[in-house]
A and B are shown apart, each in its own frame.
Chain A
Amino acid sequence: MPDSTPFPSQLELSQPEKTFLDSNELILNMGPQHPATHGVLRVILKLDGEKVLGTECVIGYLHRGVEKIGENRTYAMFNPYVDRMDYVAAVSNGLGYCEAVEKLLQVEAPRRANYIRVILTELNRLASHMLWLGTHALDIGAMTPLFYTFRDREEILKIFEKYCGARLTTHAFRIGGCLYETYDGFERDVKKFIDFVPPKIDEYEELLTSNRIWVERTKNVGKISADDCKALGVTGPVLRASGVKWDIRKALPYAAYPEFAFEIPVGANGDTYDRYLVRMQEMRQSLAIIRQAVEGIPEGPIMAKVPKVMKPPAGEVYHSIEAPKGELGYFIVSDGSTQPYRVRVRPPSFVNLQALDLMVRGQLVADVIAVVGTLDIVLGEVDR
């Protein structure tokens, strides 16, 4: 770090002896309980007046030991646990895990299951981005988009509920395919939804995209270059907004994505405004994918032939998917028994959060909140 004074450790900060009058720098604590930090995240800021000299994130408040649990559950039993990590977009977590185990078992989910998986995952991406938009706008001060996005997100959650019974932690997929057949009227509901949503997305854009105050709050705030992104391992819309046209759905395709035509939105500057635009475009692209998928769901089985007691041969596999927040990866080591030997989850929010320090150096305090919002982190995923 360029500045000389070291950050006090967690222990030191909990017993402050120095007052803020002792030096030019003020150490300010955005505590674990804070309306804007999207969960229990503690950000310690070193400020010079309003300017941020450095930050430090203290995480681990939501650490539940998911990886350790994975070593003590069978493969199928562990499936519901992964939903709880990125609880905002639970379907993608399940998709990544199921596909990773399927790779270990060397089975392939049938084509119909893949289509259903893609539809639900893209709906889930829309839901996640809508929630992101509402909370990000709220942090910056615009209260109303929150209610509009949540109202539209309700429609997606209704579809999830009709499909698998749960709105948020869906446990929608099983290893080898999907357990539930699409319900009567699934296609009709999804089609109604994709006709209903584009004017809503236009409404959000109308409220924010050309709003001068919004532009001033987000342009040139939290800039990060493409090289920094790659070195830090930042993925997802943050990487794409910095100009790197990379999406795992196109680069290393999985599920039924090779069969669909969609674009990858890319930004130019890598600032908050670009990330906002990239995510809005991603919402529209998700709608395009869903439209193509729902019009061509093939007939067939929805579950591959998977033994009741799953004992994948010993080996390791790493499989990642493009979750709404970035590259979500699963590294599973199997020793031939019914329980995984090691389940490692590569959380996109954890790695993206490292970039916070770089992004807010030299910016003002009010921008820290905007940047935390634009990184789109979910603490369940950061801490696991």
Chain B
Amino acid sequence: MLDALTSYLSSDTTPGQAGNVLWALIYILIVFGGVSVAVMAMNWLERKALAHFQIRLGPMRVGPHGLLQPIADAIKLLTKEDIIPERADRLVFWIAPLIILCASFAVYVVIPFGPTHAITDLNIGILFMLGVSSLSVLGVVMAGWASNSHYPLIGSLRSSAQMISYEVAMGMAVVSAILMTSLNRSGTGTLSMIGIVEAQQQQQIWYLFKFFPLGFLAFVVFAIAMVAETNRAPFDLPEAESELTAGFHTEYSGLRWSLFMLGEYAAMIAVSSIAVTLWLGGWLRPFPNALTGATWDLVFSLVPGFSFLALAAVAWIGVIRMPKDPYFRVQTLGLAAFGLLLGLIGLVLFAPPVRERIQDIFWFTAKVAFFMYMYIWYRATFPRYRFDQLMRVGWKVLLPISLGVLIGTAVVGVVF
């Protein structure tokens, strides 16, 4: 029994490939839990970062510096009344958020957090990801239809049109990255996610910098398309409140609405993971080939620990700056405990066995976190695109550029 459990640990493939159902389930739980925590953290970060961009403070009361705000929001949403419009199509109304949620979460099955740290590694991994994430369009249309009200219907049609338009440009950009994987020694490319990162490792260059500026352009096209794909600013016309139609999730309240939000953030993290895997080298640490050697390995392996210690230091500075009033005692204690926790994690991450193991996951997560921050930054800075301009950008600007990059990559790849 114990043998069955630990036999997997000595293998060097993902649980899915090893056929180990138990470990696959464990991985699924870990990933699911991780994504949920990430969504909550993203919720908090969005409110705080947006507030700081707008020279205000954001949530400060609920926990120290609003750290427990997502929990309060979750409780509020769960206890809200579940309103279904009178003449809504009940079954479709119920299914729509589930479809979006399942589509967004199913994508996580192939996301590689490390060379063997994925739930499974399909050899058509990237194709699977693009395909399954497109299923959420179905959920959007169903949500708008089931609401039986013309504002959500118009909003959902706009949203779905936007999503499928930008998928084309996304696909083209992805294909040009895939082409680059075929330029390794064996001459065969791969669609598997782990294979793509390993190809980058073999070819000793992140695809972002390969054939500069082609790789960079493909990355930029994908970065813009993924923001449009997830209906985020500046492409959030279908869901903005100050436009006429408040979007496909107008009639949803409470738990159902929170499912939409969960699905949206999960989709954001998923497409960011695709971008990270294809262009930013996945789990590879920065400069994997330019700065090689044991010392550089050591230096980079200390970064996770130091980053958590830095976060702990920020938390402790916050503790020191808390008002001394006894009213704030609980919050100060909470923040101090949180800082302590972060510090402990940082110290644990310095221990050599942990240090080795944590590298891949840390670098992957750090890169995805960078993308999340960019999402928030875009939302704070840019006005909204009008719908026809949005479609024009998708079809007339991004698609030609991505096609050009694709052809360019193919030509350059053959010639050089």
Contact = CB atoms under 8 A, between A and B. Distances in A.
The answer to A–B direct touch (Cβ < 8 A) is yes
Interface of A: 20, 26, 28, 30, 35-36, 50, 137-144, 146-148, 151, 207-208, 211, 213-214, 216-217, 364-369
Contact of B243 (A20, A147, A208, A366): A366
A158 to B, nearest CB: 17
Contacts of A368: 244
Contact of A147 (B54, B237, B240, B387): B54
B382 A142 contact: yes
A213 B227 CA distance: 15
A326 B389 CA distance: 32
Nearest to B380: A144
B233 A141 contact: yes
A364 B53 CA distance: 31
B213 interface: no
B242 A139 contact: yes
B244 A213 contact: no
Contacts of B388: 50, 364
A369 B234 CA distance: 17
Contact of B244 (A28, A143, A147): A28
A54 to B, nearest CB: 16
A216 B244 CA distance: 19
Nearest to B151: A28
B386 interface: yes
B50 interface: yes
Given A366-B237, A369-B243, A140 B380 contact: no
A207 B236 CA distance: 19
B1 interface: no
B206 to A, nearest CB: 28
A214 B383 contact: yes
The interface residues of chain A, by DSSP majority, are classed as: helix
A143 B50 CA distance: 9
B2 interface: no
- Most-contacted residue by chain A among B234, B240, B244, B389 (CB, 10 A): B244
Interface residues of B, number: 26
Contacts of B240: 141
Given A144-B53, A366-B237, A213 B243 contact: no
A208 B384 CA distance: 12
Interface of B: 50, 53-56, 150, 233-234, 236-237, 240-244, 379-389
B54 A216 contact: no
Contacts of B380: 143-144
Contacts of B236: 141
Given A36-B242, A364-B388, A141 B383 contact: yes
Contacts of A50: 387-388
Contact of A144 (B54, B242, B243, B244): B54
A73 B243 CA distance: 42
A155 to B, nearest CB: 14
The interface residues of chain B, by DSSP majority, are classed as: loop
Given A143-B379, A365-B244, A213 B234 contact: yes
Given A213-B234, A364-B386, 8 more contacts: A35-B241, A36-B242, A140-B383, A141-B237, A142-B381, A143-B50, A144-B53, A366-B237
Please name the 7 residue pairs, one residue from A and one from B, whose CB atoms are nearest each other, closest first.
Answer: A141-B384, A147-B54, A142-B383, A141-B383, A36-B242, A140-B383, A366-B386
A146 to B, nearest CB: 8
A35 B244 CA distance: 10
A120 B244 CA distance: 38
A366 B158 CA distance: 13
Nearest to A151: B55
Contacts of B150: 20, 26
Contact of B54 (A28, A143, A367): A143
- Most-contacted residue by chain A among B243, B384, B386, B388 (CB, 10 A): B386
A138 B380 CA distance: 11
B386 A367 contact: yes
A367 B387 CA distance: 10
Contacts of B389: 216-217
B188 to A, nearest CB: 41
26 contacts: A26-B150, A28-B244, A35-B241, A36-B242, A50-B387, A139-B242, A141-B234, A141-B237, A142-B383, A143-B50, A143-B54, A146-B54, A147-B56, A207-B381, A208-B383, A211-B383, A214-B383, A217-B383, A217-B386, A217-B389, A364-B386, A366-B243, A366-B244, A366-B387, A367-B386, A369-B242
Nearest to A26: B150
Contacts of A366: 237, 243-244, 386-387
B116 to A, nearest CB: 43
Nearest to A368: B244
A340 to B, nearest CB: 41
- Most-contacted residue by chain A among B233, B237, B243 (CB, 10 A): B243
B384 A140 contact: yes
A137 B383 contact: yes
- Most-contacted residue by chain A among B150, B237, B241, B382 (CB, 10 A): B382
Nearest to A370: B386
A211 B386 contact: no
B22 to A, nearest CB: 48
Contacts of B242: 35-36, 138-139, 141, 369
B383 to A, nearest CB: 4
A355 to B, nearest CB: 21
B381 A144 contact: yes
B241 to A, nearest CB: 6
B118 to A, nearest CB: 37
A211 B382 contact: yes
A137 B381 CA distance: 11
A140 B383 CA distance: 6
Given A35-B242, A36-B242, A213 B385 contact: yes
A217 B244 CA distance: 16
B55 A141 contact: no
A39 B244 CA distance: 15
Nearest to B246: A35
A143 B54 CA distance: 8
A358 B376 CA distance: 38
B227 to A, nearest CB: 12
- Most-contacted residue by chain B among A146, A207, A208, A216 (CB, 10 A): A216
B382 to A, nearest CB: 5
Nearest to A221: B386
Nearest to A148: B55
A231 B242 CA distance: 32
